[in-house]
Amino acid sequence: MAVVFKKTEGLTDKQFHYCPGCTHGIIHRLVGEVLEELEVVGKAIGVAPVGCSVLAYDYFNCDMHEAAHGRAPAVATGIKRILPDNVVFTYQGDGDLASIGTAEIIHAAHRAEKFTTIFVNNAIYGMTGGQMAPTTLIGQKSTTSQAGRDAATTGMPLRMSEMFATIDGAVFVERVSVHDVAHIRKAKKAIKKAFEVQLEGKGFGIVEVLSTCPTNWGIAPVESLTWLKENMIPYYPLGNFRTPEEGK
Amino acid sequence: MAKVLMKGNEAIGAAGIKAGCKYFFGYPITPQNELPEFMSKELPKVDGVFVQAESEVAAINMIYGGAGTGERVMTSSSSPGIALKQEGISYIAGAELPCVIVNISRGGPGLGGIQPSQADYFQSTRGGGNGDYRLPVYAPASIQEAVDLVIEAFDVADYYRNPVMVIGDGMIGQMMEPVEFNEPEKKRELPVKDWATTGTEGKRKPNIINSLALDPAELEKHNIKLQAKYDEMEEKEVRYEAYKLEEAEVVLVAYGMTSRIVKNAMDILEKEGIKTGLIRPITLWPFPNKAFNEIPDTAKALLSVEMSMGQMIDDVKIANNGKLPVEFYGRAGGMIPTPEEIVNKVKEILGGGK
């Protein structure tokens, strides 16, 4: 009988620790599949963040380096500058990338570092128990914005992809979502493109993936997918912000 | 090789390259700027890479990533910048990676000043980073010694899989002295870096560089393993100079440039018939406790001389173990003690001069 579906070689056999309904698992799988399809699992070096995906080093089936909170882009810079022929990626959440690590990610993009970043935005701090993130939506309840995020005292949610779109070194910038199958397929295409841009040595590539956090949102898994679609996408519009012109 | 006249910061950079370091990640801060400047010019010539990071925090994390590849990597900074690097140093120690960190130190606290100081003794020997970790800290007293110690520091880092610090006060960075770059003496058999993240190439299981251990039993095991390594360093890596200890009435303790000023003071005292000796720690950690066993019975007191308000004196007291009175003389903020000030202090200790 022909095998029509199997685990990707880009992931290990280790069982994910993620909560039911969390979309980290899907995003991990997409990255693993892309590494496999591009035949770079053996060349890949991943940098794991601090946050829910802190244990990502156990899941990706390639060499991994666990960074300090927010510092993954600096760690990846050190690796890629020394090993330019390897494929280097960071996998970071929104607390990691959009809060404590903004300097590191912005300047990695600014230097046009030739690695790929998978930025998982679930609009909340997951691992530490549901605190407000820079990406938390206005009115969204968190353990540090219990009456709902208030723009007057905490500002407006930070749109990172739009910011990357202003940086010349960030040659591929796309925001995707994984709330349904069609969007999951689009997300995979973007992730693949971001890795291809790295393989072509064109510059820094980042894919922002809108993701769910049923546990800390306090919303059931299926309803979380709807909540993402109805609340996150209007504020964080999907689409490509930057892509290298063909032949350049 | 013939001697060349070089500025300390540049000589330290050249020593790194001589040791096979091709990768430098740094950030500008006075008084160490000539070091990254030198590396930015010289590393491309040896197919190396210089990156000016966006901050000291980023630079040390580039070092963390770079060290993970198994290549020799180096960074430098000065006091407030080293403060920012402490997070990364703790991770590098926890993940057991080799690297060399240079601190050309200046006065503090806070932004402090840009003149030479030794007020980073606590910072370098106690660590501002979190957790149970140690790093060997070398304190050269001349540009030649800085060169020799930087070259050796890379071997020590590789041997123990541990960050190593070389600390020089601003004078070491800024002054010029003749130096030669000798072939380093091979003292240690260096282990193969089979832990490095270079890509599995489908030939081995993934390597993981990590300092996280959520299971307390596992973390304690890691702490015990690290401690065994630190114990080995304390046993094997202590370096010091014991100078004119015979018949000394007062034994001075000083490191780095201060030790040279102390030697001038000792010459003056000797002419006046006052015998003094010097213990010069070359490793600030591990501290040369055993040097204090060499102190003769003639000694009436110890005198710690520092360009700080008194930091190494804590280690002097531990090493002395209550045997002799421990006195202190220091200048701070970038002020440099004169030989005469030290002479006066020794005379004061001995009862207002002889």
pLDDT of B166 higher than 60: yes
| Residue type present at position B170 | G
End-to-end distance of chain B based on CA atoms, in angstroms?
48
Residue A57 has its nearest CB partner, among B51, B65, B208, at: B208
- State how far residue B66 is from chain A, nearest Cα, in angstroms: 4
Inter-chain contact B66–A44, Cβ cutoff 8 Å? no
A68 secondary structure, DSSP code: P
> Which of these ranges, A141-145, B92-96, B181-185, has the smallest mean pLDDT?
B181-185
pLDDT of A235 higher than 50: yes
Confidence band of B186 (pLDDT split at 50, 70, 90): confident
Contacts of A86 in chain B (CB under 8 A): 198-199
Contacts of A83 in chain B (CB under 8 A): 69, 198-199
- Burial of residue B80, with CB atoms counted within 10 A of its CB: 0-12 exposed, 13-18 middle, 19 or more buried: middle
**For residues A25 and A31, what is the distance between their CA atoms, to the nearest angstrom?**
10
| Domain ranges across chain A | 24-241
Question: Using one digit for the tens of pLDDT, what is the confidence trace for A166-212?
Answer: 999 999 999 999 999 999 999 999 999 999 999 999 999 999 999 99
Q: What angle do CA A244, A28, A33 make, to 5 degrees?
A: 65
Which residues sit opposite B240 in a β-bridge? B281
Average pLDDT (A88-109) is: 98
Of the candidates A119, A149, A165, the residue with the CA atom closest to the CA atom of residue A217:
A149
Which residues of chain B are at the A interface, by a Cβ-Cβ cutoff of 8 Å? Answer: 23, 25, 49, 51, 53-55, 57-59, 61-69, 71, 73, 87-88, 91, 95, 197-203, 206-212
Per the prediction, chain B carries an average pLDDT of 97
Percent of chain A with pLDDT over 90: 97
Size of interface A-B (CB pairs under 8 A): 133
Inter-chain contact B95–A63, Cβ cutoff 8 Å? no
- State how far residue B116 is from chain A, nearest Cα, in angstroms: 30
Q: Are B142 and B180 in contact (CB under 8 A)?
A: no
The count of C-alpha atoms lying within 13 angstroms of the C-alpha of B90, restricted to the half-sphere facing its C-beta, is 16
- Domains identified in chain B and CATH numbers: 4-236 (3.40.50.970), 240-349 (3.40.50.920)
Residue B198 has its nearest CB partner, among A63, A74, A81, at: A63
Inter-chain contact A107–B51, Cβ cutoff 8 Å? no
- Residue B308 tokens read as 């700080």
Distances (CA, A) of B242 to B202, B254, B289, B293, B337: 54, 11, 12, 11, 21
Sequence-distant (6+) residues with CB within 8 A of B38 are: B9, B10, B13, B14
- Residue B57 tokens read as 């925090």
Inter-chain contact A79–B66, Cβ cutoff 8 Å? yes
* ipTM value: 0.97
- Residue B99 tokens read as 């690297």
Residue A68 has its nearest CB partner, among B54, B62, B88, at: B88
Q: Quote the pLDDT of residue B352.
A: 67
Inter-chain contact A82–B71, Cβ cutoff 8 Å? yes
Sequence-distant (6+) residues with CB within 8 A of A132 are: A124, A125, A140, A142, A143, A144, A145, A149, A154
Residue B198 has its nearest CB partner, among A41, A66, A83, at: A83
Average pLDDT (B179-206) is: 95
**For residues A194 and B340, what is the distance between their CA atoms, to the nearest angstrom?**
67
Residue A82 has its nearest CB partner, among B55, B66, B209, at: B66
In a mutagenesis test of the A interface, which of B46, B49, B209 is the best target, namely the one with the most A β-carbons within 10 Å? B209
Inter-chain contact A74–B197, Cβ cutoff 8 Å? no
Average pLDDT (A133-157) is: 98
Q: Is A202 on the interface with B (CB under 8 A)?
A: no
Average pLDDT (B99-118) is: 97
Contacts of B69 in chain A (CB under 8 A): 78-79, 82-83
- State how far residue A2 is from chain B, nearest Cα, in angstroms: 25
Per the prediction, chain A carries an average pLDDT of 97
Which residues sit opposite A60 in a β-bridge? A11
- Name the residue of chain A whose CA is nearest to B50's CA: A81
pLDDT of A248 higher than 70: no
- Name the residue of chain A whose CA is nearest to B203's CA: A42
Dihedral angle sign, alpha carbons of residues B27, B28, B31, B33: positive
pLDDT of B293 higher than 70: yes
Inter-chain contact A74–B57, Cβ cutoff 8 Å? yes
Contacts of A78 in chain B (CB under 8 A): 23, 25, 61-69, 73
Contacts of A113 in chain B (CB under 8 A): none
Q: Quote the pLDDT of residue B354.
A: 44
- State how far residue A192 is from chain B, nearest Cα, in angstroms: 19
Question: Using one digit for the tens of pLDDT, what is the confidence trace for B313-351?
Answer: 999 999 999 999 999 999 999 999 999 999 999 999 999
Q: Is A44 on the interface with B (CB under 8 A)?
A: yes
In this structure, which CATH number among 3.30.70.520, 3.40.50.11540, 3.40.50.970, 2.30.30.100 belongs to the domain A24-241? 3.40.50.970
Question: Using one digit for the tens of pLDDT, what is the confidence trace for A51-91?
Answer: 999 999 999 999 999 999 999 999 999 999 999 999 999 99
